[in-house]
Amino acid sequence: MIIAKDLRLKQSQSDCSPDHGVATTPWFRGFSLIEVTVAIAIIGLMIVTTSTLLQRLPVSGDEVRDQDTALKVARTEIEVLRAGGYDALPASGPFTNPLLSSLTSGSASVTITAYDAKTKQADVRVSWVGTGNTARSMSLTTLIAQTSGMP
């Protein structure tokens, strides 16, 4: 607006016929409908983008908490397996943990495979359903040798 006003002043100074005011020299024609619409559309787009971004933040917070919970479930199982030692290793299959109920459709399983003659490999996997019905999972792996375990 300020620019337009300045231009108008310049125009009126160079135009040496002061009696012909606005009507004969409508130098500033205003904004066209298209210009205004485009400007409003751009502003609207910016606002919508920002609000979508902000609404996603709590979602990512929940995802982090779920991952942390799943990590704790897997860690506990690894600790139990390590403490139990080679001979006490269970067969492959699901295991329970009180934390699993705080995950949506949470399930956990352990897979025991032979790593070599004297070592077994334990894969602990925790699966759950994250926000937006996406399947999530995380897994931890450890090796347990025949001589391991707590006294």
Question: Does 150 help bind another protein (rule: CB under 8 A)?
Answer: yes
What separation, in Å, do the N-terminal and C-terminal C-alpha atoms of the chain show? Answer: 83
CB closer to another protein out of 58 and 94 = 58
The footprint of another protein on this chain (CB under 8 A) covers a number of residues equal to 35
User: Which of 124, 123, 125, 118 has its CA nearest to residue 86?
Assistant: 118
20-49: contacts with another protein (CB under 8 A): 21-22, 27-28, 40, 43-44, 47
- The only residue of 10, 61, 88, 104 in contact with another protein, by rule CB under 8 A: 61
Determine which helix (DSSP H) or strand (DSSP E) holds 125, and give its type and residue range. Answer: strand 119-129
Cβ 151 to another protein, closest distance in Å?
8
CA 54 to chain centre: 11
Q: Are strands 107-116 and 93-94 parallel, antiparallel or unpaired?
A: antiparallel
Is the dihedral angle over the CA atoms 127, 130, 134, 138 positive or is it negative? negative
**Interface pattern 91-120 for another protein (x via CB under 8 A):** ------xxx--x------------------
Phi, psi of 19, rounded to the nearest 5 degrees = -70, -25
Per CB under 8 A, residues contacting another protein are: 8, 12, 18, 21-22, 27-28, 40, 43-44, 47, 50-51, 54-55, 57-58, 61, 64-65, 68-69, 72, 75-76, 79-80, 82-83, 97-99, 102, 150-151
